Amino acid sequence: MRYTRTLLHALLAGMLLLAPVVAGAKRPATKEDLNRIINESANFLRNREPEMTAGEFALYEKVVAMLAIQPEFAMQLLQQMMAGKERPSAAFEFVLGNAQYNAGRRDLAEAHYRRAVERFPEYLRAWANLGVVHYGEGRYDQAVASFRRAVELGDATSDTLGMLAYSLQRAGNGVAAEMAYLRALSAAPDNPDWLDGLCGLYIESKQYGRAEPLARQLVKLQPHEPRHWQHYAGLLLSQERRVEAIIVLESARALRLASDEMLLELGDLYAQQKFNAEALAAYREVLQRGSEAGAQRLIVMARMFAEEGQPAAAAELLATVEKSLPADARVPFLQARAELAVARKDWAPARRDLEEALSRRPLDGLVLLRLGQVLKESDSAVAAEQMLLAAARRPEGAYQAHLELADLALRARHFAPCINHLEQALALQRSPAIQQYLAKIKAIASSDENTTHH
C-alpha cells in the first residue's frame, strides 16, 4: 500500500477548508445600529407625518430628553401623565413605541408602532421602526413587509434599504435582495455591512467572479477582520487561482489574523505546489497552537516523506508530532510510523505499531490489511492469512486483501483458493490486468491437475 505524492495531493484536496461560504458572516446592523436608528427617529418630520395634540406635545417636551438616557424613568412619567387620558394619537403612539424600545420592551414597542400605522397608514418612520423590531428578532418575512412599505413611502436611507436587502436574502428572494443591496450601496458605497451582505448573496448563488471585488474591497475597508481575508482567499480558490490565494493567506498571516483554518489551507496549498518546507512551517504553527488538525497534516506529510524515500525527514516530523500528539491522532500516527518502518523493511516495529493501532480500531479494514501485508512480508504466513481474511470482510480493505490472499495461496500452490480470491477481487473491482492474471492461474491449475493425474 503505497502513499504516493499523488495520493497525498488527493487527500489534501479533500481537506481544503476555505470554500467560499457565508455561514461565518455576521448579520448586518448590530444591536447598537438598531438602537441608533430608533433614537434618530425622535424628531418629527413636519408636513409628512401626523402631529401630536397640544397636550401630548407638552408631555413629550417634558420627557423627550429622558427617553434616550433614562427610558425606564421616562416611561414611568409617561404612564402617570397618560393615566385616564383619551386614546393617544398616531404620533404619540410612535413616541411611546420608541420609549418602550429603549426600555428593552420590544413586544410593547411593536404594539405601539402597529397602532401608529393603523391610525396613519402612511407613517413612514413608524413602518421603518416596525421593520427594525422585526429585523432585530430575526422575523425576516415581517421585516420585509415593514421595510418595503417604508421604502414605498419614500425611505431611501442606506440603513432601511440594507436591512430590507438582508431580510429579503434571508427570506429567499435573492433577486430583490440584490437590487436592494445595490440601492443601499448607492447611498453608502463604503458601508461594510451592505458590501458584506451583497458579497454573501453572490457567494450563495455561486457568482464568485462578482463576489471577488466586493471581498477585496472589504479587506481594504476592514483589514483587521480575519473573516474578510478568509472569504477573499476562498473566492480565489473557487476560481483555481491558487498562487493568489497563497498571497492573500500569507498577508493575513503577516498581520497575525490567520486562523487555524486559514493556516491549514495555506499549508495544503503549499503542499500541492510541492513547497514542502513552507507547508511544514504552516502546519507546525497550527500544531503549536494546540490544534489536532495540525498534527494530522504533519502525519500525512511524514507518510509522504517515508514513501518518497526520505526516512530522516519522516522520522523528524513524527518525533515533532509525538511530543504533543492529540488523542484522536494516535492511530494515524501509529500508521505513519509503521509506514516508515516498512520503508526501512524493519518489520518488527511496523508490526508493533500496527497491532497497537488495531487494538484501538479493531474494525478498521485498512489497519487489518496493512498488518496482514507486514506479516506476509515477515514470513508469518498463517498470521498474515488470518489478518487478511478479516480485512477482506471490511469494504475499505476487501479488494486488496483478496489480492494478497490470492498471492499467499499461489505461493503455497493452492490454486483453487487463489482462483477464488481473484474472482472475489474482480467482483469488487473490474481490472483487465487481474482478469488476464486469473486466466493464467486457471491455465496453470489445469496443467498441474493434468500432470498430477498422469
pLDDT digits (tens, 9 = 90+) for 126-152: 999 999 999 999 999 999 999 999 999
Share of the chain above pLDDT 70, in %: 82
Q: What's the confidence (pLDDT) of residue 39?
A: 57
Most confident of 43-47, 97-101, 342-346: 342-346
Q: What's the confidence (pLDDT) of residue 306?
A: 84
> Rg of the Cα trace of the chain?
35
Distance CA 32, CA 361 (A): 52
Element (H, E) at 413: none
pLDDT confidence tier of residue 451, bands split at 50, 70 and 90 = low
Contact 369, 332 (CB under 8 A): no
Mean pLDDT of 250-272: 92
Q: What's the confidence (pLDDT) of residue 42?
A: 53
Q: What's the confidence (pLDDT) of residue 184?
A: 95
Mean pLDDT of 32-48: 59
Checking if the pLDDT of 17 tops 50, the result is no
Q: What's the confidence (pLDDT) of residue 54?
A: 67
**The residue type at 354:** L
Summarize pLDDT for 224-237 with one digit per residue, the tens: 999 999 999 999 99
Distance CA 92, CA 291 (A): 57
Share of the chain above pLDDT 90, in %: 57
Mean pLDDT of 278-289: 87
Residue positions counted in the chain = 454
Check: pTM over 0.85? Answer yes or no. no
Q: What's the confidence (pLDDT) of residue 243?
A: 94
If one counts every other C-beta atom within 10 angstroms of the C-beta of residue 351, the result is 20
Checking if the pLDDT of 217 tops 90, the result is yes
Distance CA 226, CA 125 (A): 36
Distance CA 215, CA 286 (A): 25
Summarize pLDDT for 168-185 with one digit per residue, the tens: 999 999 999 999 999 999
Contact 235, 208 (CB under 8 A): yes
pLDDT confidence tier of residue 15, bands split at 50, 70 and 90 = very low
The CATH superfamily of 369-454 is Tetratricopeptide repeat domain (1.25.40.10)
pLDDT confidence tier of residue 47, bands split at 50, 70 and 90 = very low
The owner of cell 511544514 is 280
| Sequential DSSP letters for 291-305 | -HHHHHHHHHHHHHH
Checking if the pLDDT of 44 tops 60, the result is no
| Domain boundary assignment for the chain | 369-454
Q: What's the confidence (pLDDT) of residue 25?
A: 53
Mean pLDDT of 361-368: 93
Residues whose CB is less than 8 angstroms from the CB of residue 366 and which lie 6 or more positions away in sequence, other chains included = 1, 335, 391, 396, 397
Q: What's the confidence (pLDDT) of residue 10?
A: 44
Calculate the CA dihedral of residues 344, 349, 353, 354 and round it to 10 degrees.
70
Q: Which of 207, 155, 153, 202 minimizes the C-alpha distance to 181?
A: 202
Distance CA 388, CA 368 (A): 7
Most confident of 85-89, 90-94, 145-149: 145-149
If one counts every other C-beta atom within 10 angstroms of the C-beta of residue 387, the result is 26
Q: What's the confidence (pLDDT) of residue 41?
A: 58
Mean pLDDT of 57-69: 67
Mean pLDDT, all residues of the chain: 85
Angle between helices 90-102 and 71-82 (to 10 degrees): 140
